[in-house]
Homo-oligomer: A and B are copies of this chain.
Amino acid sequence: MGKRKENSTNMHNEKTIMEGCDLTYAVCMIGGRWKLLILCKLENGKLRFSELRDRINGITERMLTLQLRELEKAGLVKRTVYAEVPPKVDYELTEIAQELVPIWSQLSDWGAKHRKTTTKLISK
């Protein structure tokens, strides 16, 4: 993780913005490098830690763990531990996260539709 300072301007601004803007709040919850990718993989049902790791190109176990923990705290992912050895843990979307799926898909469509146009603009 890297714990955050309690009284930095940075932290204060983040809190203030999140409190005042539902949209920013919503986007923050899905705003880590690998979060959306993880959530997408879980759209079709439960997956084990190792399955996620193998399906997400380039992610390290540390990053996967961190992002899953945050998603869990945010109430978007449910973690289930089985009392087995070797360990078995799986992850699935919560109801709250399911409600986001249709919105994601619109966003995704928007991204696909405008990617080329926007990419051209960016490359200027």
Chain A positions within 8 Å of B, measured between CB atoms, are 12-14, 16-17, 20-27, 29-31, 33-34, 36-37, 40, 57-58, 73-75, 96, 99-100, 103-104, 106-112, 114-115, 117-118, 121-122, 124
Contact = CB atoms under 8 A, between A and B. Distances in A.
14 contacts: A14-B33, A21-B37, A22-B109, A22-B112, A23-B36, A23-B107, A23-B111, A24-B37, A25-B115, A27-B27, A29-B118, A73-B121, A74-B122, A103-B110
A112 B96 CA distance: 12
B57 A36 contact: no
Nearest to A76: B118
- Count identical subunits in the complex: 2
A107 B103 contact: yes
B26 A107 contact: yes
A27 B106 CA distance: 12
A66 to B, nearest CB: 14
Contact of A114 (B27, B75, B124): B75
